[in-house]
């Protein structure tokens, strides 16, 4: 598969990465071709979009944009605005997944005072067209409230890693991840629609993510939200795929990766992310990544230099 190169294509950074690919003929014969993906971690006061994207992918708030492909955009932090021709204007926030359809005018923008973290993948082919015909993708309802999902975030990171490396078999591997993202998102949305505790779980996720280092206990949250603690724990696990304590650890580990990439020491990262000790942090980090924090940091610094 040949990559679509552009003179203004950025190198992978801690806060920004994107890559576009031509639609692979083999992948199209399967029904789904991934044509791009990446992430933007927009900090308070940063311009948006932070870089000029090629061709019809770039946009600004005043003009909006119309794509000729499907995009799935997941927000893992922050909030902002979204507007489209068929859906009108909406507030969007962490835990929302936005589905953009071909031919649909749209625009979106993070709150300048907070920014947001967005992760996205673009695709085309017969399968997404079939999903649209079946009502799984609907321009009138482009926002899925799926909650803070480490499993979804892991899928987006895996897709970005595939796009960065372009290994043999990328077409099938990336397409499988897109199907997994949509299936997990629809499942989470269905659970939220049917479960009266879903709103409490979404609020709990926002509260935990707001300050992972000093996050309130699930007991405290249950009391503040007026729901039984046992019910909240059960609903939290069902909706996010992880128990609250493990979900919070995954959130802290994700922040630890960002801080290690920024050059902070292992000791400082462990303290900043709220881990009780460096040894505990190192064990959990190794279990997640397969490498000790120091080795992981050295490897990723070398990769960025290369």
Task: Report DSSP state, residue 242.
Answer: S
Using CB atoms within 10 Å of the CB of residue 229, give its burial: 0 to 12 exposed, 13 to 18 middle, 19+ buried: middle
Query: What confidence category does residue 98 fall into, taking pLDDT thresholds of 50, 70 and 90?
Result: very high
- Give yes or no for a cis peptide into 40 (omega within 30° of 0): no
pLDDT of residue 22: 87
Distances (CA, A) of 195 to 7, 198, 202, 233: 49, 5, 12, 13
Give the whole-angstrom CA distance, residue 257 versus residue 252. 9
Q: Which pLDDT score is estimated for 185?
A: 84
Which value, to the nearest 10 degrees, does the dihedral of the CA atoms of residues 164, 168, 169, 170 take? 10
Nearest one of 200, 193, 202 to 226, comparing CA atoms: 200
pLDDT at 4 over 50: no
Reported as a pLDDT band with limits 50, 70 and 90, residue 5 is very low
Calculated CA dihedral for residues 22, 24, 27, 31, nearest 10 degrees: 50
Q: Give 274-289 pLDDT, tens digit per residue.
A: 898 999 999 999 887 8
**Count of other CB atoms within 10 angstroms of residue 205:** 23
Q: Which domains does the chain have, with CATH numbers?
A: 16-193 (2.60.120.280), 200-241 (no CATH), 244-306 (1.10.10.60)
């Amino acid at each position: 598969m040949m990559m679509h190169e552009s003179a203004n294509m950025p190198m992978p950074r801690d806060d920004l990465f994107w890559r576009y690919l031509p639609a692979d003929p083999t992948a199209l014969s399967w029904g789904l071709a991934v044509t791009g993906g990446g992430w933007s971690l927009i900090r308070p006061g940063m311009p948006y979009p932070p870089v000029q994207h090629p061709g019809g992918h770039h946009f600004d708030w005043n003009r909006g944009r119309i794509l000729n492909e499907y995009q799935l955009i997941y927000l893992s932090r922050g909030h902002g605005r979204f507007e489209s021709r068929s859906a009108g204007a909406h507030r969007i926030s962490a835990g929302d997944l936005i589905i953009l359809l071909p031919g649909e005018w749209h625009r979106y923008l993070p709150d300048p005072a907070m920014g947001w973290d967005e992760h996205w993948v673009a695709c085309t082919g017969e399968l997404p067209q079939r999903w649209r015909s079946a009502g799984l993708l609907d321009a009138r309802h482009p926002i899925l409230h799926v909650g803070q999902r480490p499993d979804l975030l892991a899928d987006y990171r895996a897709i970005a890693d595939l796009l960065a490396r372009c290994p043999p078999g990328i077409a099938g591997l990336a397409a499988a991840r897109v199907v997994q993202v949509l299936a997990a998102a629809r499942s989470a949305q269905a659970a939220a629609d049917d479960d009266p505790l879903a709103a409490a779980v979404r609020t709990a996720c926002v509260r935990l993510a707001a300050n992972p280092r000093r996050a309130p206990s699930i007991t405290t949250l249950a009391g503040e939200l007026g729901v039984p603690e046992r019910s909240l724990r059960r609903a939290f696990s069902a909706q996010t795929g992880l128990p609250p304590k493990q979900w919070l650890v995954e959130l802290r580990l994700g922040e630890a990766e960002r801080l290690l990439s920024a050059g902070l020491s292992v000791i400082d990262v462990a303290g900043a992310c709220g881990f009780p000790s460096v040894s505990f942090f190192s064990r959990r980090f190794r279990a997640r990544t397969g490498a000790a924090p120091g080795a992981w940091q050295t490897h990723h610094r070398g990769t960025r230099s290369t």
